[in-house]
Amino acid sequence: MNLDKNQLLRFTTAGSVDDGKSTLIGRLLYDSKSIFEDQIDSIKNTSSQKGLDDIDLALFTDGLRDEREQGITIDVAYRYFTTPKRKFIIADTPGHIQYTRNMVTGASTANAALILIDARHGVIEQTKRHAFIASLLNIPHIIVCINKMDLVSFRESVYDQIVADFNDFASKMLTRDVKFIPMSALMGDNVVNRSENMPWYQAAPLLYTLEHLHISSDVNKIDVRFPIQTVIRPQREGFVDYRGYAGRLASGVLRVGDEVTALPSGFNSKVKSINSGTEEVTEAFAPMSIAVTLEDDIDISRGGMIVRSNNKPEVLQQFDVMICWLNEKKSQIRKKYKVLHANNEQQAMISNCVYKIDIETLKRDSEATDFTMNEIGRVTIKTSKSMLIDGYRENRTTGSLILIDPDTNETVAAGMIV
């Protein structure tokens, strides 16, 4: 099996409690033969202990003791499977109470989001919230899985109505690529195998769709942003003068000989060499981990950034972000938090709440002064030193940040720079 050219696709799933999310993931793994026999045996056992005739596919995804005992899902889990076309990472996020926080976590690295809709209920408020979060997180591809088609006799008219309803409210969303697939995760229709019950649906089943999503152009290849993680100074024979700036290229293509600027100092230089691991290369692109040396000895350390001289990020100490609050302790205006952004950590405060979004109605409330867990809204952030930032829509890496509470060291908020 030649896997050399295979790409990695990360996707997340969103759905209400009984939309069949776990069943869908179980079906995807089961029908693509990604589950081992000892795992199937163990699930068969548990299923029959629970008095079920068939195996409960949802059991594949509940790993912890409390989850099995209570039949609920706690926190995000990651699942893997590989087909001859691609390697997949599923961020399996629970649909329960904490759904916003968990969905944001799972969605932050995803190429694609699967939004589940129960065909009997159609587009509900919850669907709109999932689509809103997917759009806010700028997930490049959305696949709307219209599930439980077996319970509406596989009728095309039901599917058509849901597609029309979704498109109606989604017309304002920024996601470029939205696809719809009618399916029955329980019966296996249109998950891995084409459904014989829905001959009116001519497009591909879910797995084929995932295998063929075009994701190469999802990464920003235009703006060179190279945040520095650490400086490598071997000081050993053969490398006495070596000074390599190590990091992961956030976006763009960097070549030996490029004119670059080191920020925040603003000194200009040229790229002298690029190392990818032990190999020397002439060019590198996002998301490679590399080490770069420059023609001149200039001061640049962790938290700094190397960029193309004619294309720089903004340098700001005050800016607006969309935040999702993740912690049980609510936010406080002017409290000192730590902010972590592109390998740079410093102090920050929320200086102003611009508005909070009512997650039920998606209406804006500009009277709000704090955020509790799972709430989303726009705030103004002030930092102790200038930060090198881009808008989240242009750059997922240099446009995202987290807030850390210094009293507990916990990550309390996720932020997307407006």
For other proteins, give the closer residue by CB, 157 or 216. 216
Q: Which residue has the tokens 């979060």?
A: 133
% helix / strand / coil in the chain, to the nearest 5? Answer: 20, 35, 45
The token duo for 234 is: 């071997």
* Smallest separation, CB 145 to other proteins (Å): 22
Question: What span, in angstroms and rounded, lies between the C-alpha atoms of 392 and 400?
Answer: 6
For other proteins, give the closer residue by CB, 84 or 157. 84
Q: Measure Cα distances from 127 to 134, 144, 153, 354 in Å.
A: 11, 10, 22, 25
Nearest to 181 by CA among 172, 171, 191: 191
* Smallest separation, CB 165 to other proteins (Å): 31
For other proteins, give the closer residue by CB, 105 or 190. 105
CA angle at 79 for the pair 84 and 376, rounded to the nearest 5°: 125
Torsion of CA 156, 161, 166, 167, to 10 degrees: 90
Question: What span, in angstroms and rounded, lies between the C-alpha atoms of 44 and 169?
Answer: 42
For other proteins, give the closer residue by CB, 353 or 401. 401
For other proteins, give the closer residue by CB, 150 or 405. 405
For other proteins, give the closer residue by CB, 347 or 366. 347
Question: What span, in angstroms and rounded, lies between the C-alpha atoms of 394 and 137?
Answer: 12
For other proteins, give the closer residue by CB, 233 or 336. 233
C-alpha R_g of the chain = 24
* Smallest separation, CB 146 to other proteins (Å): 28
* Smallest separation, CB 322 to other proteins (Å): 13
* Smallest separation, CB 14 to other proteins (Å): 16
Contact at 8 Å (CB) between 244 and 294?
Answer: no
* Smallest separation, CB 291 to other proteins (Å): 7
* Smallest separation, CB 306 to other proteins (Å): 15
Residues in the chain: 418
Residue type, 236: R
